[in-house]
A and B are shown apart, each in its own frame.
Chain A
Amino acid sequence: MSQSNKLDAKIPSGPIQEKWDKHKFDSKLINPANKRKFTVIVVGTGLAGGSAAASLAELGYNVLSFCIQDSPRRAHSIAAQGGINAAKNYPNDGDSVWRLFYDTVKGGDYRSREANVYRLAQVSNNIIDQCVSQGVPFAREYGGYLSNRSFGGAQVSRTFYARGQTGQQLLLGAYSSMMKEVNKGNIKVYTRREMVDLVLIDGKARGIVSRNVVTGEMETYVADAVILGTGGYGNAYYLSTNAMASNCSASWRAYKKGAFFANPCFTQIHPTCIPVSGDHQSKLTLMSESLRNDGRVWVPKNKGDKRPPNEIPESERDYYLERIYPSFGNLVPRDVASRNAKFQCDDGKGVGDTGLSVYLDFGDAIKRDGENTIRAKYGNLFEMYERITDDNPYKLPMRIFPAVHYTMGGLWVDYNLMSSIPGLFVLGEANFSDHGANRLGASALMQGLADGYFIIPYTLGQYLAGTKLEKLDTNHDGFKSSLDDSSKHIKKILDVNGSKTADYFHKKLGKAMWDNVGMSRSTESLNKAIEEIPKIRKEFWNDVKIPGDSNQINLELEKAGRVADFLELGELMARDALERKESCGGHFREESQTEENEALRDDDNFCHVAAWEHEGENKVPTRHKEELVFENVKLTQRSYK
């Protein structure tokens, strides 16, 4: 496997506190009258794409916005519950930009880029101000000021929230700003469109091919730059907390056109999800992390104890997180909580019919604070739990199990959020930059909005002002050949005419990923995945069945297109995991652990970003390294004991 140093992150020089301001000042500007002459494609209308589209249109760019759903307001960001971080320090509890920066770098297990994370912490406060101005109804105290809570084990209260619907409210804020620009004619929205290819001309990103999923028409669009805010790829595991349409296709097609894919193996498995109930399961539902503030996690001390939870006496319960991690207890980070739940279940102590869940018990909290207090805090979550499981969590402990939730990996970007393809920018969960090997709670919303509202408006201008771009239209050969390739790809899927549904293959891939590239990974399991996945891929291309044609709404065809890409990405995730022979963040390599079974990082050999370059169909991709330099934060082993 070849390794090289091909990546320039373009981190500005100078002290970390001054880098962003200096960079903004050094960036070339485009005169307001000239911005109108530039067209920018923004794919995705989640927090990242939505905020970018709105802000760029306000500056005067001509924006074309694309999404799969029937309205920009429905992007997957809408499902975020818990909250968004900012370093406001309103509670006067010792927070600061520096602390948010430090916590995020440490939380990411020292696998993110210091300069990016510092900038994220710097702009975090502007995000809150911006959202308040849009009319986002954040929770408030009686005095009328914004309310904060501590989230995901943070030592300070820096999380802003809007009931259990923070993502919804932030997204509707971004959406409303977008619609304001639609009304002014600065944004044109293309809904129910799926980007199927990126068009490169003279080595620069100059447009996309998309499929209109209502008419089936293949369309091409030209621009001076392309921005992807197309979300994460957690659905590679089939079951995840992601929305059904969440996919990797836009990123994957860009990868195949030369954009490097960074740290694909870094996935986050969230500890508090509602367990799987049967083979019919189509997705998993997250229960907000805030529940761990009051709920106590336990399993029976004896293997195979099938008694109902209320018949198991205190003395026969193992509150294992409190036992193993006395100082953090139930509030250990997500990866630690998830892994420990898995270990308990592997050890035969899991509960419920499947043995694949652990208890999250509010009994003590209800005794201490009363049912009404607990209801006021978590009522909507308890209701949701009861609706799905038919169990009443006020009476019986909840049952929870970890589920795939977020992907820290994504397309590689430099400090300007530009990928290795000039003119292709990547924002939000789709890029890799800020969360290292593990993302802290309430920081994905912050990153998506930071990228879209406050970073891309500067860095895009810098690119456009300094780049020669020839005038083009869709008659250019580059567009014609991309269009042709995409149509052939779709025809190829339809022509298989086999006997199994796209979901059949998706489930099979999901199982291979979960079993071998899941919460705990070993050389053996990863090699198995690398062997198995190409077989599933081959079977897919020989046996997938899609009724109907491509000139109409064809949901099976849409699914199959996404599954075909996941079948390739899955293999890359396994390869990346295999090469990273250390444990860090969400990536636990069994060969790299301490005597107490805790994750063991290897900073000497792996303190770098792995960025993969596509080398052609069925060829082993090249792994490039971006060495990470820590000048401001001292590397330590995480310990929550």
Chain B
Amino acid sequence: MGDQSKLMSLNLKIWRQPNSGSQGEMIDYKLDGISPDMSFLEMLDVLNEELVQEGKDSIAYDHDCREGICGMCSLMINGQAHGPEASTTTCQLHMRKFKDGDTIVIEPWRAKAFPVLKDLMVDRGSFDAIISAGGYVNCNTGNAPDGNAIPIPKESADLAMDAAACIGCGACVASCKNASAMLFVSAKISQLALLPQGKPEAQKRAESMVTKMDELGFGNCTNEAECEASCPKGIKIENIARMNREYLSSALKSK
């Protein structure tokens, strides 16, 4: 804080790509005067201020809440989705996790289903498409009985909440060598399958969402568990097993 001796200099290697149709390349930037108390995105803000001052195009990256909850921010930082700190989104990562003189490589999420729009920004519209294929309970406004009409065991509610904590950032896809979306999809399927409200449609839901996921070009799951390791919200791969159960029973039924 205001302590000059702590300020860092960094070598950044950042992916620049003007738009989805063009070729991209890694560009080197040198950045001085970075305080360890800055967040990673504030460090990029500083770089962008400098670029704009020089009349250059600023680096495009997604972000919004900067509190680790909206799922807007992304970035592969030195090859790790959301960078080196466990259970932390890029916006909550602070520069004190780096050292003076470090080289930091910053790239976008890379997956066929997440095309780059510009620089570090990708299109994750495929996630919305998967949810719209069935990630909900068919219940219209006004249908609902009293909130306490159906008791839900605390354990189920807690497990459902664990799965529901997914922020839809796409780190799981970006860190999977197959670019599989299984963790994301299974989190939603699990959340709803664990609750009585979601039960009636559980199998159909699993089937429609998985079919959509395949259609959109996400890869298969080969149990690498990289998704779990990179998830900033600690979503567990047990969800994938739960999803497979729902999916299997749905497949059996339709036979």
Q: A-side interface residues toward B, CB under 8 Å?
A: 51, 54-55, 58, 69-74, 76, 78-79, 88, 90, 126, 128-135, 137-146, 162-163, 165, 167-169, 172, 175-177, 179-180, 182-183, 189, 191, 214, 243-245, 277-278, 280-283, 285, 353-354, 384, 387-388, 390, 453-454, 457, 499, 501, 503, 545-548, 552-553, 555-556
* In contact, A556 and B45 (Cβ under 8 angstroms): no
* In contact, A556 and B58 (Cβ under 8 angstroms): yes
* In contact, B69 and A168 (Cβ under 8 angstroms): yes
**Contact among A51, A79, A214, A354 for B65, CB-based, below 8 A:** A79
Residues in chain B near residue A214, CB distance under 8 A: 117
* In contact, B55 and A547 (Cβ under 8 angstroms): yes
Q: A-B pairs with CB below 8 Å: how many?
A: 225
* In contact, A180 and B132 (Cβ under 8 angstroms): yes
Bound CA–CA A429/B143 (angstroms)? 26
Residues in chain B near residue A130, CB distance under 8 A: 139, 141-142, 144
* In contact, B65 and A78 (Cβ under 8 angstroms): yes
* In contact, A135 and B38 (Cβ under 8 angstroms): no
Binds A, one of B75-83, B100-108, B119-127: B119-127
Q: How far is the CB of B248 from chain A (nearest CB, A)?
A: 22
Bound CA–CA A147/B42 (angstroms)? 38
* In contact, B191 and A137 (Cβ under 8 angstroms): yes
Contact A280-B139, Cβ < 8 Å, known A70-B124, A501-B53, A553-B60? no
Q: How far is the CB of A629 from chain B (nearest CB, A)?
A: 32
* In contact, A283 and B66 (Cβ under 8 angstroms): yes
Q: Tell me if B177 is interfacial: C-beta within 8 Å of chain A.
A: no
Bound CA–CA A553/B134 (angstroms)? 31
**Contact among B51, B55, B161 for A137, CB-based, below 8 A:** B161
Q: Which residue of B lies closest to A500 (CB)?
A: B53
Q: Tell me if B5 is interfacial: C-beta within 8 Å of chain A.
A: no
Q: Tell me if B52 is interfacial: C-beta within 8 Å of chain A.
A: yes
Residues in chain A near residue B252, CB distance under 8 A: none
* In contact, A134 and B66 (Cβ under 8 angstroms): no
* In contact, A79 and B67 (Cβ under 8 angstroms): yes
Residues in chain B near residue A183, CB distance under 8 A: 132-134
Bound CA–CA A283/B127 (angstroms)? 28
* In contact, B18 and A552 (Cβ under 8 angstroms): yes
* In contact, B1 and A74 (Cβ under 8 angstroms): no
Residues in chain B near residue A169, CB distance under 8 A: 161, 164
* In contact, B197 and A134 (Cβ under 8 angstroms): yes
* In contact, B136 and A134 (Cβ under 8 angstroms): yes
Q: How far is the CB of B40 from chain A (nearest CB, A)?
A: 11
* In contact, B70 and A78 (Cβ under 8 angstroms): yes
Q: B-side interface residues toward A, CB under 8 Å?
A: 1-2, 18-19, 35, 37-39, 41-42, 45-46, 49, 51-53, 55-58, 60, 62-72, 85, 88, 92, 94, 96, 117-118, 121, 123-125, 127-128, 131-148, 150-154, 157-158, 160-161, 164-165, 167-168, 191-192, 195, 197-198
Residues in chain B near residue A388, CB distance under 8 A: 39, 92, 94
* In contact, A140 and B157 (Cβ under 8 angstroms): yes
* In contact, A553 and B160 (Cβ under 8 angstroms): no
Contact A548-B35, Cβ < 8 Å, known A73-B168, A282-B41? no
Q: How far is the CB of B212 from chain A (nearest CB, A)?
A: 10
Q: Which residue of B lies closest to A283 (CB)?
A: B66
Residues in chain A near residue B157, CB distance under 8 A: 137-140, 144
Q: Which residue of A lies closest to B166 (CB)?
A: A172
Contact A88-B52, Cβ < 8 Å, known A137-B195, A165-B165? no
Q: How far is the CB of B134 from chain A (nearest CB, A)?
A: 8
Residues in chain A near residue B69, CB distance under 8 A: 78-79, 165, 167-168
* In contact, A244 and B38 (Cβ under 8 angstroms): no
* In contact, A132 and B65 (Cβ under 8 angstroms): no
* In contact, A70 and B141 (Cβ under 8 angstroms): no
**Contact among A79, A168, A454, A546 for B141, CB-based, below 8 A:** A454
Q: Which residue of A lies closest to B93 (CB)?
A: A387
Bound CA–CA A126/B117 (angstroms)? 41
Residues in chain B near residue A175, CB distance under 8 A: 131
Bound CA–CA A555/B145 (angstroms)? 45
Bound CA–CA A281/B94 (angstroms)? 12
Residues in chain A near residue B132, CB distance under 8 A: 179-180, 182-183
**Contact among A71, A137, A283 for B128, CB-based, below 8 A:** A71
Q: Which residue of A lies closest to B161 (CB)?
A: A137
* In contact, A132 and B144 (Cβ under 8 angstroms): yes
* In contact, B72 and A547 (Cβ under 8 angstroms): no
* In contact, B141 and A55 (Cβ under 8 angstroms): yes
Residues in chain A near residue B2, CB distance under 8 A: 278, 353
Supplied contacts A172-B164, A353-B2, 19 more A-B pairs, CB within 8 Å: A70-B125, A76-B65, A76-B70, A137-B157, A137-B164, A140-B151, A140-B152, A162-B161, A179-B136, A244-B64, A277-B35, A280-B45, A283-B66, A387-B88, A454-B141, A545-B55, A547-B51, A553-B118, A555-B60
